[in-house]
Amino acid sequence: MSRKKVTILDIQKRKTNNVPITMLTAYDFTAAILVDQADIDLILVGDSLGMVMLGYPGTTQVTMDEMLHHCKAVARGTTAAFLVGDMPFLSYQADIAEAVRNAGRFLKEASMDCVKVEGGREITDTVRAIVRAG
């Protein structure tokens, strides 16, 4: 039996009710199918794919196009999990307008449900702009 798509409201409800939330990483279509079939709530397509899948020495070499490619594959392999795309290094730090465009690409082109960024107070305005954009 297929389960319904996990939404942000489902996640908020679980948190409010102190119900555990599950999350795993997937980098490709096959892994996404397996994770989704395991009834995991969220799937992260992390920039760590640079090291795990592409053989880079770190995450800073990963490009937007590489992230989008892997996010698309994961999205095609899932039906229910909430999908999180990790925005790569320098895809959101330099300019707020570029950050909004890049976040939009994750949602529009790669069918992600949200994006993940790293930082603290210094990226508050960027996060606010991304949220406002939809």
| pLDDT tens digits, one per residue of 20-38 | 999 999 999 999 999 999 9
Residue 2 lies inside a defined structural domain of this protein: no
**Sequence-separated (6 or more) residues with CB below 8 Å from residue 102:** 64, 87, 91, 92
Residue 114 has phi, psi (to 5 degrees) of: -160, 175
| pLDDT tens digits, one per residue of 64-79 | 999 999 999 999 999 9
- Residue 100's CATH number: 3.20.20.60
From CA 83, how far away is CA 76, in angstroms rounded? 11
Residue 3 lies inside a defined structural domain of this protein: no
Residue 84 lies inside a defined structural domain of this protein: yes
Beta strands, E only, 1-134: 23-25, 42-45, 82-86, 114-116
| Tally of domains within the chain | 1
Domain that holds residue 23: 8-133
